[in-house]
Every structure is written in C-alpha cells, then in structure tokens.
Structure 1
Amino acid sequence: MSAHGPRARPVQRRWWVVAAYAAVSGTNQMLWLTFAPLTTEAAAHYGVSVDAIGWLSELFPLLYVVLALPAGLALDRWLRPSLALGVGLNAVGAVVRVLSPVYAGVLVGQILIAVAQPLLLAAVTRVVEASVPAAQRPRAIGIASAGLFAGMLVALVLGPVFGSERLDALLLVQAGLTVVAAAAMMLALARPIWPAGTGAAAPGVERGGRLRSVLADPVIRSLVLVAGLGFGVFVAVTTWLQALLAPAGISADLAGIMLLVMVLAGILAGVLLPEPVIRSGRAVPMLLVVVAVTSGAGLVLAVLPGPVSGLLAATAYGLALLGALPVILSLVETHAGAAEATATGLVWLGGNLGGIVVSLLVQATLGRPPVAFGLMTAVMLLGIPVLVALRRRLSTSAPAETVP
C-alpha cells in the first residue's frame, strides 16, 4: 500500500467520491468522442471538411502526449487545485461547444476538454486512495475505469440517436451531463478528505525527484510498456475494425454493434476482475492471459473474418484489454508511492503513444486485413517478455513509500 509520509491517515469508505470521479472522467471521454459517430454529418453541419471534424477527436491523444507528465506532477504536488482545474476546464469546454454556432468555437471547446483530460485521468489512483481503504482500492479503480468506458459508450450511442439533424441538441445534452458530473466532483473536492498540498516539497522533489523516481522504477517502466502495447491494439481495433471487416461483408452498423459489445464487455471486466486478481497476487498471470486471448482473437479474424467471429473477437478484446487497465493502475497505486499521479500519467502516456503508433501501422495495411490482424497479434506477443520481466521485478521489489 502506498503512503504519503506523516500526512497519511486512515481512509473511510466514500464510494460516492469514486462515483463522482467516474462520472466526470466518463463525461470527458464522452466529449472526446462526440463527433466520432457523426463525422460526415458534422462536417456538413459546420461547413468544413471531414478532416477538420477528425481533428476534434485526434487532438486529444496529441495533447495528452504533451501534457501527461506535467499534469501528473501537478496532481502529485497540488492534488485538489489541479483536479479542480481539470473538472472546470472539462465543463467549460462542453458549454463553449453549445454556445458557439461555428466550427472555430467548437474547436476551442474541444481544446479545453483535451487539456482537462490528463488532469482527470492521471488523478484516478490519488482519488481512490483518498476515498476508500487499501483493500478495496482495486475494486474502486475498476469502477473508475468503468466510468471511462461508459462515457465512450454514451458517445457511441447518443450520436446515432440524435443524428445530424439534432446536433445542437446533442451538444446541449452532453453539456448538461458534464455540468452535473462536475458539480458532484467539486462537492467531493470540498470535503476534508484530501491529502494536503505539497507545494513546499522536499529539495529532491523540487529538482524533479518524483519524475526521476518513476522513471527509475523498473516495475513502472514495465507497466508503461504493457499499457502501450495493449492500448495500442485497443485503439487500432476501435479505429479500423469496420474498415478491416468490410471485405468480409460486415456493414458499418454491424461493426458498430461489435464495438458496443466490446466496450460493454470491458465495463463488466473492469468492475469484476481487479479486486480478486490483485488480492490473489495473480496480476501478471492475468495479463499473460490477456496476451493469449487478444492474440487468439486477432488470429481468428485474420483467418476467418465474419459476423460471428467478429462478435466473439470483439467480446474477447473488450474483456481482455479493458479489463487489464484497472489491474495495471492498481499495480501503479501499490508501487508508485508519493509519485502516483506522475506514474499514472506516464502509463496513460504510454497508452496514447501506443495507440498512435499501432493505429498508423494498421492504417498502412488496411488493404490486407489478414496482415493487419496479424500485426496486432504480433504487437500483443511483444508483451510476453515484458510481463516475464515484470513478474520477476514484482517478486524482488518493495512498494515505494517516499520520494528521495
């Protein structure tokens, strides 16, 4: 269990705080993917190109790569104000999108939401630590992670439900959900449960000790690599599944159903898996199973693409890849010590970089679906030596308690 020196104190059960955080981080994911199901319709609505609408989503991973580490460092030193800033930017960005009738205003709103994203996502382990006892933190991280995936699911469902004819109403509904979630999280931040700010940090920390301690930790480095591989494949699947299965006669509607099934399976796995996996000390064996399951799913789609195999593979991808995230974050919470948010931000950074790289590699092979699915399988198999090394490191390393 991680601690934070003399200011650490017993934590009571405050599941409503975890729920508020899950809601606000989920709305961030919802706002990110608002235009993904309506790309061509939104382009016509605002009188811009399809590429311009694509940038409303694509700027998120790009800004995350730039802001992940600064956001993590800020959260570790000034948790409440940094998290409040992320909550506020997220809500303001959603409202700006409603108030602006033109593309430029929507772009500004998306930029604000994208800046909020690393401040929100990197805070998950710190929020959980302040809210529930140590034994229940894996479950809490799973619930918080499920909130992220639920936000994605809401975006994928609401877009087609409202359609291009009611795009303004869609933005208004999403802004309403975001403001309500933000109010709940601000109420949580007003409670006296949060660790004191560390603006007057120790000299080693002032010189970047937190970041150095994270980068020097072989366990955290292994977790970053695992996240990069797994989320690289997840992002590639969500981005290109329909295009890769189209030659097998899979329609856009059926591919959309497969993606919904994938996310629903991930929500279920994220809630149910982390606690028993972490409690039993079987995190690495579980992650090795993730490699096996996703590799098998990729090979099935490479050899026998079709409606049934596609649904089964999508379910496998969701259960395995999304179920792995809270397990990885639970290991971060256990081993990162006072640099939790920095380490969490680094894991998210690895995931975003992996998503960019693997998606681009798969894009280059879209004309050859078996090669694309084989490539994703090869990426997952790269995780085996990383996980073997991680298992050895976990058996010989102690959780971090302080930052030198």
Structure 2
Amino acid sequence: MEGAEAASLLGERSAAPPARFRAYRRRWFLLAVVCLLNCSNAMLWLTFAPVADKTAAYFHISLETVNWLSMVYLLISIPFGLVATWVLDSVGLRCAVVLSAWLNMIGSITRMFSVLKFLSLGSQSYWYLFVGQCFSALAQPLIIFSPTKLAALWFPDHQRATANMIASMSNPLGILIANLLSPALVPEGKHIPLMLGIYAVPAVTACVLATLGIHEKVPPTPPSASATSSNSQPFFTGLKMLLRNKPYIILAVCFGGGIGMFTCFSALLEQILCEKGYSNDFAGLNGALFTVCGLLGAFLLGMYVDRTKKFIESTKISFCLSALASIMFAVTSRFRHQAITLAITSSLFGFFGFAIYPIAMELAVECSYPVGEGTSTGLIFVASQIEGVILMILLQALTVHVSEDPFSTCALDQDGALDWTTPVLVLAGLCSGMACFYVIFFHTDYKRLHAETISADLAKAEDAVTAHVPES
C-alpha cells in the first residue's frame, strides 16, 4: 500500500511527461564541488589521527586530548545533523553547499592560528585547533547529506547510484589523503604548521568554487519523475514517517553503527598499531589501503547496482564480508611482524565496508520515499554519530596502559603506551552482531523505483490514448 501511495503522490506531482525530463551538463560541476568539499572536510577531520603522538608532543597534551579533535566532529554533528536535514529539504541544496563551504574554510583557517609564533599563545594554542575543528564539524552534516539530494535533483535515474557513489566516496578519499599526507608532512612535530597550511588550500578552493559557481537551487527541468516531488513532504512530517518506518529504523541502526565503527577505525588505527611495534608510516599505509580498496569496492558495487537495482542483496553480502574482515584484523593486530597480513585484512575490510556506504544511502531513500532525501540520509548520519561517540568512549575506556614496552613505536606519555587488544576484539564482535541482525531482519520495497515505474507506465498510456484520438 505504501508503494502505491508513493506512486499516486508522484503521479499527481509529475505534470511533465518523461520526454520533458532533462539532465544538464553543469550537474558534473556541482558534483565536482561537492566532491572537493567532502574530501577537504574529511582531511580536516583526520588531520591529526595519523600523527597523534607527534601532535600530543608538539602541543604538550595527552593522546586522549588529541582524540577529541576527531571526536568533536561526532558530538557536534548529532544536534546540527537535524538542522542540516532541514536546510537541505526546506531551504535547498545550493544554500547547504555554500554554507558548508564557508564553515569548512573558516575552520581550516582558524586552526592555523594555533601555530603562529608571534601570537605567543602558549597553552592556549590547542584551543585554536579545537575551535577550528568545531567549525569544520558544523560543515560535515551539510556536506555528507548532500550527495543523495544532488543525485536526486540533478541526475537521471540510471546515474543516481553512480553519482551518489562518486560524491559519497570523496569523503573516504579525504581520509586516504590524510592517512598518507600527515605522516609524510610531519616526520617531526615541528612540521605541524606546514601540514595545517597545506590542508587549508582545498578548503579555500572549494569555498570559492561553491560561492561563485553554484547559482540554482534546482535545475530548470527535472531529470526524472521522482525529482519533481523531491521536496514533497514537510520536514517534520517526514521525520514522523521515518520514525514509524520499521525497515528504515533497522537500516539506520545497523548502517549507522557501521559508519560509527569505520569512524573509530580510521581515527584510532595509528594508536592500535604503534603499541605492537608498527610505525606511523605503516599505519598510514594501512589506512590508505583501507580507503583505496574501499573506493574500488564502492565504484564496482555502485556500477553494479545502477544496472541491477539489487540494493538489498548487495548490502547484505557486503556487510557479512566486512564483518569477517574485521574479525581477521582483530586477530592479526594482536601480533607483531604481521605487516603483510595486516595490509591484506585492512584492504578487505575497506573493500567490503566502504562499498556499503553509497548503496545504503540510496536504499534509505528507496525505503522511505516520498520523504526528502536530506531527511532520510540525515537521520542515519545522526544515528551513526551517536553510535560513533559511544564507541569512541567505550573503546578508549577498554584500553590498558603498558608502562614499559620495548617494541612500542608510540610517543609515550606519562602513563606509557596503550594496549588496544580488547577494544579491537569488541569492535569486531559488534560488527558481526550488526551484520547478522541486518541480514535477518531487514526487508523493504523499493518505493521510489516502484513509483517511477508506475508514473512512466501512466504517461505511456496517456500518450497512446492521445495518439489514437481523432482530430476534430
């Protein structure tokens, strides 16, 4: 019944026949700007995680304090995520992208004040880093929620999953760049000012392009039937519909938990590996393999789903395989001198885990249609941030201090290095449990695709009737 209601709503609001649908070439410029923003924001988020020990030594703070530079993204995104969904579905895509670009740029510039020697900041320098991270964190929900909205408003139905995949995967691309660039730029703590300056360049570039290059809220002519009713449900009505939608809630809990786990893995990877004797460069390489293979997996799965529309089957298989990879990593990371095995397991974890991300975002729209794309994806992201904060706090609480460890490559604080064996095993167990829950309990209809099919059939029938009506 829900699919029929969605189709009816679509039919009422799609006055233009399919022949009038049009895809504009400037959609690729919009996609490029969103990609650059997403990539830059992820780079700002993960700037310090690959060099956490050197950051702690440079600013004379603890590793736990350095972790707050990443965790603040999660905390701020929880309340502001709801605001971001309202901005996207009520104010529009252009406002969301431009606003996020300015917040992202202001954050990147604010961070640079922490290393300006002439200010003589002393112990206050850390707070410039923290405030800058807060501005960038405000931009994150607006950026991350944009891909599904952009794909729905500007791309035809046969390109939606691919466009969403490209825009969404620019976020892990930023993680990849940070994992490779931060250790390369900061062999010693004194090079942190150079790193902050380089990371500000893409943020400023994205802000200029977004401000000067994006002029329209929506395209003059929609690219698909569903785009004509993309804003059909008021924000609070959409929220109520989502909270009553059982498949959507299951997807939000499981997929949100998956995002939270990947967030923790990316932010804590260097600390997990250094206690076992692995260098920052090797941790950065593992993070890079994790992300590169994830991008490849997302690209291949996005192309496959665009052709087959097998959203559910693809996400269930990928979730199970990523759970197996997480178990392999949890076991392997307990031992030293396992560089090749760790690299393989990180690659597999990324390949299957990241592949789920863009497909699950599209699936969220499919199972919640006609709720706005910003609201349906935004609520999942808010859930992922809540779960990510809980996981970050839980995993750090489960660590054990190792006062004297001759194999550790960590820059030790006063309490010594941290043993992450128990937290990593807990993370693998949670990933496996959520995968099983998702496979068993998640089932849904593809409401948007069903509505578009009915609308197209009705339009064809009307054209056929018109063609056979004799002229008077």
The correspondence for 1:72, drawn from 64, 82, 85, is 85
TM-superposed CA distance for 1:226, in Å, is 2.3
The separation in 2 between residues aligned to 1:375 and 1:99, in whole angstroms, is 36
Query: Which of 146, 150, 166 in structure 1 is aligned with 2:191?
Result: 166
Q: Tell whether 2:202 aligns with 1:190.
A: no
- Tell me by how many angstroms 1:369 deviates: 2.8
Query: Which runs of structure 1 show a deviation greater than 6 angstroms over 4 or more consecutive aligned residues?
Result: 1-4, 395-401
1:120 offset after TM fit, Å? 1.4
Separation in structure 1 between the aligned mates of residue 272 and residue 59 of structure 2, nearest angstrom: 29
Structure-2 residue corresponding to 1:221: 249
Q: How much has 1:78 moved relative to structure 2?
A: 0.4
Shift of 1:137: 0.8
Q: Tell me, what secondary structure is at the counterpart of 1:190?
A: coil
Q: Distance in 2 between matches of 1:151 and 1:396?
A: 33
Is the 8 Å Cα contact of residues 396 and 423 (structure 2) preserved in structure 1?
Answer: no
From the CA coordinates, give the structure whose radius of gyration is larger.
Answer: 2
Structure-1 residue corresponding to 2:141: 118
Taking the TM superposition and a 5 Å limit, the aligned residue runs for 1:88-127 are 88-99=102-113, 101=116, 102-127=125-150
Quote the sequence identity (%).
25
Could you tell me how far 1:132 is from its partner in structure 2?
Answer: 1.7
Which residue number in structure 2 is paired with residue 387 of structure 1?
Answer: 439
CA distance in 1: counterparts of 2:66 and 2:60, whole angstroms: 10
What's the offset of the Cα at 1:303?
4.6
Matches for 1:178-257 after TM superposition, within 5 Å: 178-191=203-216, 193-194=218-219, 205=234, 208-244=236-272, 250-257=278-285
Query: How far, CA to CA, are the matches of 2:354 and 2:126 in structure 1?
Result: 33
Check the 8 A contact 1:297/1:317 in 2, yes or no.
Answer: yes
Query: Does 2:347 align with 1:315?
Result: yes
Quote the Cα distance in structure 2 between the aligned partners of 1:255 and 1:98: 25
Q: Quickly say closer, same or farther: Cα 1:242–1:400, change in 2 above 3 A.
A: farther
Q: Distance in 1 between matches of 2:81 and 2:435?
A: 23
- CA 1:389–1:73: 2 relative to 1, 3 Å: same
Letter in 2 for 1:394: D
Task: Specify whether residues 223 and 142 from structure 1 end up closer, same or farther in structure 2 by C-alpha distance, changes over 3 A only.
Answer: same
Structure-2 change in CA distance of 1:308 and 1:160 (3 Å): closer
2:280 is the alignment partner of 1:258: no
- Cα 1:72/1:371, change in 2 over 3 Å: closer
The whole-number CA distance in structure 1 between the counterparts of 2:79 and 2:169 is 25
Mapped pair 1:354 → 2:387:
yes
Please state how far the C-alpha of 1:265 moved relative to its aligned partner.
0.7
TM-score, normalised via structure 2 length: 0.74
Selected match of 1:376 from 425, 428, 433: 428
Where structure 1 has 5 or more consecutive residues not aligned to the other structure, the ranges are: none
**Cα distance 1:398–1:265, how it changes in 2: closer, same or farther (>3 A)?**
closer
Q: In the TM superposition, what is the alpha-carbon distance from 1:42 to its structure 2 partner? A: 3.0
Task: Output the CA distance in 2 between the equivalents of 1:147 and 1:395.
Answer: 26
- Partner secondary structure for residue 348 of structure 2: helix
Measured in 1, the distance between the counterparts of 2:423 and 2:143 equals 36
Give me the whole-angstrom Cα distance separating, in 2, the residues matched to 1:77 and 1:132: 20
Asked if structure 2 preserves the Cα contact closer than 8 Å seen for 1:83 and 1:120, the reply is yes
Q: Secondary structure at the match of 1:122?
A: helix
Q: CA deviation at 1:302?
A: 4.6
| Alpha-carbon offset, residue 380 of structure 1 | 2.6
Deviation at 1:127, TM superposition (A): 1.6
TM-score by length of 1: 0.85
Residue 157 of structure 1 deviates from its aligned partner by: 2.0
23-32 vs 249-258, which moves further: 249-258
2:437 aligned partner, one-letter code: P
Residues 184-238 of structure 1: CA deviation (Å, up to 9, x unaligned): 2234421464589xxxx99x837x2121122222332222122123223323433
> Residue type of the partner of 1:186?
T
1:153 has 2:179 as partner: no
Is this contact kept in 2: 1:76–1:338, CA < 8 A? no
Match of 1:29 in 2: 42
Distance change in 2, residues 1:382/1:57 (3 Å) = closer
Q: How many matched pairs? A: 394
Q: Which deviates more, 237-246 or 72-81?
A: 237-246
Mean alpha-carbon deviation: is it higher for 248-257 or for 347-356? 248-257
Question: 1:288 — aligned with what?
Answer: 316
